[in-house]
């Protein structure tokens, strides 16, 4: 979504990384307003596949982006030619991962996130500060962005052929 701060932060970081580490890559666009809508994601992916015959991949940051792009790739019979990465629900994307329409993805564990929110709330209620570089049990080292009220960490769970069935079975 164009309005979700985290999606935009991830897109900014990805674009910066690509420019720095893979200058040979050509971006056909950097953001598309599909929000959290699998049908709009699919439709946009189909349009991009038509407009760019040499397209090699989609990097999505909303949970419906990989699902929609994966469906478009299956529909256009481009599995193995166009690759998709991004966050999605393992239960929703399990078949697309197994068919290789989605190459992989990531998510955060919502149970773990809930535990962390309770831990942070308890600290604040006791009058304790949340500090940059502090380690929070279950979360790791945190980097608060106080201006935007975000806490940035690196605790993503990989979704791939080896992990998707177990994650889906956990209801994630």
58-81: per-residue pLDDT in tens? 999 888 999 999 999 999 999 999
Q: Are 152 and 120 within one domain?
A: yes
Mean pLDDT for the chain overall = 89
pLDDT in tens, 2-54: 788 878 888 999 999 999 999 999 999 888 888 689 999 999 999 999 999 99
**pLDDT at residue 23, as a whole number:** 96
Q: Vertex 47, ends 46 and 53: CA angle to 5°?
A: 85
Q: Is the pLDDT of residue 125 over 90?
A: yes
**pLDDT at residue 78, as a whole number:** 98
Interhelix angle 38-51/65-75, rounded to 10 degrees, is 50
Total domain count, the chain: 2
Q: Are 74 and 145 within one domain?
A: no
Q: Are 92 and 141 within one domain?
A: no
On whether the pTM is more than 0.85, the answer is no
- Helix intervals (H) in 52-133: 65-75, 90-98, 110-125
Q: Give the residue from 106, 133, 166 where a domain finishes.
A: 106
Q: Is the pLDDT of residue 150 over 80?
A: no
User: From the CB of residue 137, how many other CB atoms can be counted at a distance below 10 Å?
Assistant: 8
How far apart CA 66 and CA 83 sit, in angstroms, is 10
């Amino acid at each position: 979504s164009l309005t979700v701060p985290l999606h935009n932060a991830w897109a900014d970081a990805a674009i910066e990384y690509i420019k720095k580490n893979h200058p040979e890559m050509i971006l056909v666009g950097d953001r598309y307003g599909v929000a959290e809508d699998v049908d709009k994601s699919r439709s946009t992916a189909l349009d991009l596949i038509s407009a760019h015959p040499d397209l090699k991949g989609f990097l999505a940051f909303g949970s419906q982006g990989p699902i929609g792009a994966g469906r478009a790739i299956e529909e256009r019979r481009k599995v193995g030619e166009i690759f998709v990465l991004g966050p999605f629900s393992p239960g929703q994307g399990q078949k697309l991962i197994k068919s290789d329409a989605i190459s992989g993805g990531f998510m955060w564990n919502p149970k773990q996130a809930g535990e962390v929110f309770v831990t942070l709330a308890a600290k604040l209620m006791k009058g304790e500060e949340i500090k940059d570089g502090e380690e929070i049990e279950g979360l790791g080292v945190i980097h608060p962005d106080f201006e935007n009220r975000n806490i940035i960490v690196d605790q993503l769970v990989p979704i791939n052929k080896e992990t998707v069935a177990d994650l889906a079975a956990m209801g994630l």
